[in-house]
Each structure stands twice: as structure tokens, then as C-alpha cells.
Structure 1
Amino acid sequence: MTTVIGIGLVGYGGIGRMHALCYRMLPLVYPDLGIRVRLTGVVTASAASAERARRELGDVLTTTNLDELLALPSATIVDCCAPTGDHARIAEAALAAGKALFCEKPLGATPEESERIVDLAHTRGLPGGVNFHLRFVPALQEARRRIDNGLIGDVRSFHLRYYRSSNLRRDRAISWRFSGPGSGVLADLGSHLIDLTHYLFGPIHAVSARTAIVIGERPGADGAPVPVEGDDVAWLSLELAGGGYGTIEVSKVVPGAGDDIRIEAYGSVGALIFDTRDPNGLEIVEGTEGIGGRRIATLSRIDPATALPAPETPVGTLQWHLASVAAFISALIHGATPCPALSDGLAADRVIGAARQSAVTGGAWIRLERR
């Protein structure tokens, strides 16, 4: 018998529409899940976006009232794709209503918000996950397998960077991305790279950070300049709990950048390099003799495995989001703990909180408590 799962989607901007597409595609790409996913309702920020959702999704409840969605018995999962500053309010309301939670990163605007969400899910006995979709890049899954199997030895140094150019335009209007709780590039892009550090290399023991606002004012709704609160650039130095040091750099003011991610890991007997400009492969260095490495193809060899596209097909961003959604729903069906879980979101947010504390003090090293 096919299991039917109802999804209540909160937020219908770019990422919300991406998730809506994933739910429509899920039965075709992952037929072995044996489920039918039904998008039962969408909560939007305005009547205009509600009308857009109604036009694009058809026979689905569209509303600006979260309580109306939470009252639907058919919505067993709430997928939070709202602005970061609204995550805690939405997540806590969803969990209080007895819904499973799938939340965009970062989990909360502060570590304290994230801890409340994790504690409430635990108290209510409800599953929850965070959409760290970069864990589902096939090349990075292969990188983790190689690191776990000791193929590069002890990780001595690592460097992660994430570049975009989207903040370069001075006429880009003020929004939640530039002002308010959880704004700035450290939370937006940095959360991904902090989670990848945990995923690939292990827990972070200490962080030193600096941040910068490059464009200090942006036009408000009336055209008048409004001060920017969120950082455009962040630089982090990291020390791992198990030894090893690395860096993270995130920026949205890099001319010519699209959605450019590069990850380098250097171990005692080998190295790994991944770059989204070549997302279908991984550069590996085996041994300590000689110069240079070789490229291995990873393509769409993703976990969980897909029926469409074939494993030898070039990979793309939509697949990574889709695999993240599928892994979360599969965990719910089988009674397993989702991975990444809410606790992974909390772990990343604690590092973000420590990095902000460090940046305020001019880059002082902040130790993270082991939990």
C-alpha cells in the first residue's frame, strides 16, 4: 500500500518554489520510496505570492495565515522556507501542533533559538531535519567516503570558500537578507560550509572570525537609504576537535562569481579538491610522491540513489535539494533519525554564534564547548 505524506510549505520565494518542485518530482525520481507526496498547503507572505502559488500549484490551500495550515490534519510535515528571522516562530508553532519539521538553514537566527527548536522536538518526540543540501553532492559524498576510509590520512588542513556576486549592486533594495535577525552572508552561505566542515572533517573546537559590510546602505521601500546590518563577507579560521586547522571564506561581493564553491582537504597521505565549476568530479591526490593528482568522475552517483536521471548523467543543484528532501522523508517512513538532523543545524548555529562573538572582539579565538 502506498503511503501518502502531506506537506505544508511555509514560504514561496525562490527556495520555497524549489522545494515545491522537488515534491512534485519525488515519486518519479525515487519510486522505491513507495510514497505519494501531496502538497496540501502553502503559507505565503502576501496575497500576491499566495495567488502565484495558487496559479502554479493548482488545487492547494494557499494562505497568509500559518494557523490555517497547521490546522490541516493532512499536513503531517511542515517545510519551513521562510526568511531566517521567522524560522523559530514557525518551527516552534509547527512542533507544538504535532508536525514533523523540515527547515531551511540556518535553523535559527541565534544558537539560543536553535536550541529551543531542538529541545521542543525532543520533548514532543517529533522528527526534524535541516536542508543542508550540499551533503548530497555526489562528489562530496565520495570525498567523505575517502576521508572516512583513511585514503588521505589525517586531515591536517582544509579550506572552504563560497562566492557569489549578488550583493555588488548598490541599488539592490533592503530586505531580510541585509537587515534583521539572521541576516548576512555568515548565516546564509557560512552555515553550509560550517556544516560541510562537520560532515567531512568532524567537530569544530575553536573559531576566530572577521566580518565586513561592504555596502553600508541600501534603498528602502520609499527609496530612502537604510543602514545594512548583515555582513557581505566573512572570514573564519577553525581548529578541529580532533586536530587539524582550516579556513572558511564566504562572500557575496565577488565580481564574476555565480554560485562558486571550492573545497580543499590536505591529509598526511593524500588530498581532495572539489569545485562547483566542475561539479561532476573530484580531484584526488594519492600518496606523497610526485606532483599533481587525477580526476575521478562522480556524476549523478548520489545517495539516496535515483531512478531519474541515470547515475552517469551530469549532476545539478536541483538534484542535491531533491536528494535532501528524499533522505528526510525516507527517514520518517522508516522511523530513523533524519540526517542532517535538527541537532546538525544547532551545531552549525553554535559555530556561527561563536564566529559573531569573535568578529565583535576583533578576531579573538572562541572555544566551543563539547556537547
Structure 2
Amino acid sequence: MPADQITHKPKLRIGLIGTGFMGKAHVFGFTSAPKVFELPYDLELHTVADVTVETATRAARELGFAHWTTDWRDLISNPEIDLISITAPNALHKEMSLAAIAAGKHVYCEKPLAPLATDALEMTLAAELAGVKTQVGFNYLCNPMLRLARDMIAGGELGEIRGYRGLHAEDYMADPNGPWTFRHDPAGGGALADIGSHALATAEFLLGPITDVMGDCMTLIPSRPDGKGGTRRVEVDDVGRAFLRFANGAQGSVEGNWIATGRKMQHDFEVYGTRGALSFSQERFSELHFYSTEDAPGRRGFRRIEAAPDHAPYGRFCVAPGHQLGFNDLKAIEVEGYIRAIAGQTPEPFNFRAGLRIQTLVETIQRSSAAREWLKVPG
């Protein structure tokens, strides 16, 4: 068909706030998803906002935005922009999201949704009242191997689930001489909130609601350089752990650890059932390992299941099994689900209410740690 006869889809114009690691990941998702999936909209990178002229203009040039600004409010007030993508520091998520919602724009906010569950609730209620579509960035859940694991658990292949272990460990805060950053701000930081939230989201994605927690949150590096020749006290956890009880009767544990020397991306889980077990590591995230008690004696062991076109939507990216997906591919899958939700084709994959749930879990674990007792998870 000649190019001039192609039917054009409606445009969805995107404004991005923040151009760091996650800002670029959002852009990769927005630009890859239309090439991999048949989306109901043409996505347009309209305007990018960052704090200085230099960073904003460079981002516009390198990432492909038509316009740039140093004031994120310009995106909110621009009637041409339909969707606000927020990858700014955690403590700014609430103000930016509420402003975007009030302007009737859809909001894609990187996790954690807000520093406090009360803030996340306010954001959730505002979005639901306004009728805008929301998404919180938990793209690890988009991995076909996690979806396979959930299907195997739900289908009874592991039997009755007895135990769960989840871990998200990295070492980007392991150096005690590393500077104090926004992640150390009590108004939105700490290892449990920053990366332990992924472990909690995965636990509930696989096994369903967590009902009770016993937390243990520790600060092991008590102060850090403040960038001005002095030091600043660290009041958030470097390691956050919790024992868990699930509604389905299973028990388990999770850990968020950002001082795990040598670990760059260890987002792992193990699930133990009466008929089998699963083991997964983000360090080899195109693999899922399955143990079955139905194998003959002398033939038992964890077998490797490699990602393949049989595990949708892997086949959208590659027709050959075992060739693996990447981190940004998961962002493209996340974007695809969100864009379909905006079009009314599917429910929101992980909206603000789901983000509120994760923040509620984090805060309940923190309160449990302070009280040194088991606590019920609200709601």
C-alpha cells in the first residue's frame, strides 16, 4: 500500500518530566512499543522538562522531543499534551501528578508512587474522580517469565504453596563515601521503598494478597557526605526485610537491600509447593527454573525453561527462542498495556491504586519494624 494511503491513528502527545535513568527508560518504552505492537494511538514525543537549559535541550535533541522546557508546569498547562510521564525524584511525584490530573491528563509515574500512603491515596482518589488513566512503573512484572510463573502457580502445577522467598538486592549505595541523595530523604527514600517495593509487588503478583508482616529495617551507614564538605545523617533503611503471611495460607519473606556488595540487579524469588518449586533470578531474567516431584526418582532437579515465542509477548520481539529480552523491552510491554488502557481496550495494568497498595505494604513493614511486632496489612 502506498504510504499516502495508510490510515492515520489518533495521536497521543507525551510530556516527560526528568531525563535521568528512568526518564530515558520511559522514552525507550514509548519509541519501541509502536514498533513491536499494534497500538491504538500514534505516540508523539512532544515536550521534555528538566531543571537546566543544558539538560533539557540535550534531552530534546538526543531523545527526539519536539520541544523542551525547564519548568514542568509548562507541560501541565499545554493543552496539546495528553499524557504526563513523571520520572522526577520521589518527593515531587505527588505535586506533579495532582497538577496533571487536575488538568485532565493521563499520568505515568515511576515508582514509588508517593512518599507516604496518605499521599498515594490522595493521588489515587483524584485520578479516579477525574477519570484519567494512570500507570505506576513496575515493569519487572511485565516479564513473560513472571507471567508464566503466575500461571503455573494458579494452575496448580506446584500444588499447595507452602513458602516464598523474594529479594531485590543491588550495591549502588554500598560505598559509605557515596553522597547523600534524594533517596536518603525520609520523605520518600530507603531501600525498602526504593527497591524492596519491587520484591513486594512480585510477591503479590505471584501469590496474591499479603495479610500480615513482621518487619526489620536497618540503617547501616549512619551518615553520608553532603556535597558541601560536611556530612548528613541518614534516617532511612539500607536494608529492609519482612516475614510475610499470605491470604492463601502461604508464608514467606522479602528483602530490599541497596548495600549488597557485588549485586547489580538481583531481583529473585523462589516458590515452594507440595508438588514442585520455582526459582527465578533477574540476573538471568529470560529463564525460569522448575522442579517437579512427579519426575522419577534419580531424575529430579530444577529444569530450565527459556523464554520463547510460546511465552507472549516474547514473539513480538524475536521469533527465535532463547535469544532473551532486555530491561527496556519490559518497559515497551508496560507502555503497550498502559496505552491500551487509555484507549479503553483493557483495564489499567498497574494503576495508582495498585501503587497505593505497595506503599501501604512498605509503611506497614516500617511500622512493624519500629514496634517489633506482627501487624495486619490495612485494606
CA separation in 2, counterparts of 1:114 and 1:354?
Answer: 14
- Which residue of the other structure, out of 14, 22, 27, is the alignment partner of 2:29? 22
Gaps of 5+ in 1: none
Please show how residues 242-321 of structure 1 align to structure 2 within 5 Å: 242-287=248-293, 290=297, 291-299=300-308, 303-304=312-313, 307-310=316-319, 312=321, 313-321=323-331
Change in CA separation of 1:153 and 1:129 when aligned onto 2, cut-off 3 Å: same
Q: Does 1:210 align with 2:221?
A: no
Structure 1 moving runs of 4+ over 6 Å: none
Secondary structure of 2:283's aligned partner:
coil
CA separation in 2, counterparts of 1:339 and 1:170?
Answer: 38
Is the 1:106–1:349 contact (alpha carbons within 8 Å) kept by the matching residues of 2? yes
Q: Does 1:61 align with 2:67?
A: yes
Q: Does 1:353 align with 2:360?
A: no
Aligned to 2:3: none
Deviations 1:114-165, CA, capped at 9 Å, x for gaps: 1111101111111111111111112111101111111112211100011111
Aligned to 2:141: 135
Shift of 1:335: 4.2
Aligned to 1:334: 344
Shift of 1:66: 2.2
**Identity fraction in percent:** 27
Q: What amino acid is aligned across from residue 302 of structure 2 in structure 1?
A: G
- Which residue of the other structure, out of 193, 200, 204, is the alignment partner of 1:194? 200
Is the 2:112–2:355 contact (alpha carbons within 8 Å) kept by the matching residues of 1? yes
CA separation in 2, counterparts of 1:311 and 1:134?
Answer: 22
Shift of 1:80: 1.2
CA separation in 2, counterparts of 1:10 and 1:135?
Answer: 23
Shift of 1:108: 1.2
CA separation in 1, counterparts of 2:308 and 2:227?
Answer: 44
Please show how residues 165-244 of structure 1 align to structure 2 within 5 Å: 165-244=171-250
Q: Does 1:52 align with 2:62?
A: no
Deviations 1:26-46, CA, capped at 9 Å, x for gaps: 22122x225321111112133
Shift of 1:183: 0.6
Q: Does 1:71 align with 2:80?
A: no
Deviations 1:233-257, CA, capped at 9 Å, x for gaps: 1111111122110100111111211
Shift of 1:218: 1.2
Shift of 1:298: 1.6
Q: Does 1:119 align with 2:130?
A: no
Shift of 1:303: 4.2
| TM-score, normalising length: structure 2 | 0.92
Equivalenced residues, count: 368
Is the 1:162–1:262 contact (alpha carbons within 8 Å) kept by the matching residues of 2? yes
Q: What amino acid is aligned across from residue 353 of structure 1 in structure 2?
A: E
Secondary structure of 2:184's aligned partner:
coil
Is the 1:281–1:299 contact (alpha carbons within 8 Å) kept by the matching residues of 2? no
Aligned to 2:107: 101
